[in-house]
Chain A
């Protein structure tokens, strides 16, 4: 019994002896958070840290999160304080300080790698976007934030985000687009037009709903208008306002103004990443592209004619406002009213084949997609076929074979289609088509891979299913041109061979003048030998039968 007690005592003593207090490290990292970093470097950031404390944000910036903070140095904050006429941080108004901090904070961790020529991908907590750029100075190049502060130290990784040190306090825009433009006398005509058409009020409001708040204006200066012979608002009104009431939606001056406003906030960096932008004028887009480093608006080729575009003035653009951004353009432009024009699209003329002069209209060529992610062609794609070897688009040239010899330029594209093994659809982007109502004709050279082959397809135009189907193996029925048109067929080539089929799949109204998307979806049967030659888009009120096409590409009209 005493022995047992002795052992127990010994055990207990052992336990107590072992439990001298060891210091256990409780944290997993010694990385500081944003505020911690500022406190570590009081020489540079004590003032901004004070601002954080007084604004009441220091606690949440010292807790878990993922932020990007642009931290102005002490001298920058000092300068800003004198600008807002506060002798020190304590004297400044709390809401001013809060706004200032919000404008320097983003709810994401962004390294300099995501700084582009334009806005950052997320807005500041203040609500406005920050613009980035690079300025080359005496002491080398550095990032410039909001055209105000240069980044002096970048990508400081802290526990709850990323810090970039800047040498000037960033200040948000105070005025709306309308107010900013009105303050500039060189835009007086444009502003007057804005007022007359009623858009001034729209551009002067900051919609509390952020999905509707942002707008982009492409403003024409008095000089740009003068170059087009418009020297005053009266001139502008005389030229466009045919109803005499610019506020009415049918008035051309109203349309002129609407055509210069884009919805959404689009800095130049955003404008050039998309080929066209919807304007406030219903169904009208502007096209944009980068030519020799210039942002050019509405430079298009229509029916083989190049229409020169207008250049946006980079230095005078990217002006942020409370409700968007405005740019300045060097020349005057207006909505172009185009009559719907037929497009006889030779699908076998695509960008990639044009680069191969030894092949183009000389011999056939396979374009193989090696994997689903591989996209060898810019404007043609297809749904990946389960059987990898069927993912081949052939540029087919056949001047001596019946399949190809009657085709327009004796070439076509050949595409295997159909479930279960072959590609599941074929999608093509058309050349620009003027908005309007068109009949759409699929023109192919009919061919059976084997006698039992079928290849029934439906056609989607911009995602809308066309009422009629067509079948790549079905030849053209016999009958007069009028009889055939009545049942949705036509002879589209000069040669009358029944394999050359034009098939009307339906009528579609294009709502914008733009490049459109055609998708051919196989719904029954499957084969390799689908030879697509042309697709015709012919305005509904024009002759649907002519022109026909010769093998050398010339059109015949009777």
Chain B
């Protein structure tokens, strides 16, 4: 009996010590910790690639992929889209200007995740210079430049969507870094974006030597494009025009020519000569759009007035003239399908299948640079110059002349016309709402009519009057802070409109 007990305890002790020769090791067995990472240039490159990867899809599984937010934020409250039969209650509330703090589209988490990846690269990449001799200053500049550009882009979306957000510039590397943060005023955020992008402009190369890579990674001109947009939002028009000129003068971008199918070049093939920065979806990484736009699960469709009031319908010629950006590119007119992300040809007959759903999400393209420049110089009292740029865009697209003609002598009518042209050019590219707000807020909300007109098209008749009342409150143009964030970060103060 006693002997048996000794045997057993001996075996237990032996077995215990033998198996646990690393028994004081605290590192996880199935992952890397920071102390082992950030040693080589490959690891820096992987971290930078991770920034882009985080924009393709949600990383935590708790939120949506970023382009879904970009689409809903940029379109739902504007007049280009109409809810489909599978619309969610949260989206309907956005359409009707009834956003509550519990609305899941007010969740900014996806954006701060990407920001954190950027902050991490900015903070930890410089030290790799000491660890890896083959990691050069140029490589570091490039990595930090890319991170700064994307961080700028993320904050630019946040500041336009929420007005005031916490400005977090340090990475959250461990639980010790978790702390509550208050909102920063929008001016501070915008200034930070400008200084980030200016720095990035000097750090980034003109090109990576490969056309597709130039469109998928941030280059110098990506930073210029975002900066131009930021200046336009800040109403600094000379600076905006200067940034646009940098992109134009680079000679690296141009409009897809008139002979080619605009739809094929921009959306079916992707990475066109026109593109400046887009999210590189492919067969291995699909975008979230198939189920949003496909007709048997449609959440969003094209608004019904688009053909008649935005692109125009030619009833005169025997072979009707078409605005190339309308039917067959932005939408399929017969059933109001949003075609850019789901179409497979510009005849409107073939649709992408679910496993082909990898149309790129375009952040900026050359046409945007031109129209931003037009908007900026028009504000600098050069409506004639602006009208020439708009004309280039219109001729490329064989736009129809209908409704009010372009009046190149009047600044105010050009402002209106450029906004309309942007609606035609960038339909469903997540820009409409920001375009409306930017033009509305100019000169202390002198352009409020743009928002009211859009609301009168998109909001059901029984809610319009309420919506008009809400739009007169500047704070209503920005989303509420998500309830979960308010509960976990006690320093946040809700947007007063959502009292």
Contacts and interface: CB of A to CB of B under 8 A. Distances in A.
A113 B333 CA distance: 31
Contacts, number: 107
Interface residues on B, range: 35 or more
A376 interface: yes
Given A356-B333, A374-B298, A136 B473 contact: yes
Given A112-B98, A136-B472, A136-B473, A141 B313 contact: no
A448 to B, nearest CB: 29
Contacts of B307: 355
B401 interface: no
Interface stretch (A203-211, A267-275, A480-488): A267-275
Given A115-B466, A367-B335, A152 B499 contact: yes
A370 B295 contact: yes
B181 interface: no
A14 interface: no
A304 interface: no
Contact of B333 (A116, A355, A375): A355
A111 interface: yes
Nearest to A292: B456
B313 A355 contact: yes
Given A152-B499, A155-B100, A352-B334, A357 B462 contact: no
Interface string A369-405: 0110111100000000000000000000000000000
Contacts of B100: 111-113, 155
B469 interface: yes
Interface stretch (B54-62, B269-277, B314-322): B314-322
A409 to B, nearest CB: 15
Given A116-B462, A357-B314, A358-B322, A140 B334 contact: no
Contacts of B460: 273
Contacts of B85: 373-375
Interface string B216-227: 000000000000
Interface string B299-331: 000000001100001110001101000010000
B450 to A, nearest CB: 15
B161 interface: no
A135 B295 contact: no
Nearest to A290: B461
B125 to A, nearest CB: 44
- For B327, B460, B465, which residue has the most chain A Cβ atoms within 10 angstroms? B465
Given A314-B465, A373-B85, A357 B320 contact: yes
A134 interface: yes
Nearest to A143: B466
B12 interface: no
Interface in A43-95: none
Given A116-B463, A133-B466, A293-B464, A141 B98 contact: no
Interface of B: 85-86, 93, 96, 98, 100, 294-296, 298, 307-308, 313-315, 319-320, 322, 327, 333-335, 456, 460-476, 496-499
Interface of A: 111-113, 115-118, 132-136, 140-143, 152-155, 269-270, 272-273, 290, 292-293, 314, 352, 355-359, 365, 367-368, 370-371, 373-376
13 contacts: A113-B100, A116-B463, A117-B462, A117-B463, A134-B469, A141-B471, A143-B466, A152-B499, A269-B461, A357-B314, A370-B294, A370-B296, A373-B86
Given A368-B295, A375-B85, 4 more contacts: A134-B465, A136-B472, A141-B469, A357-B313
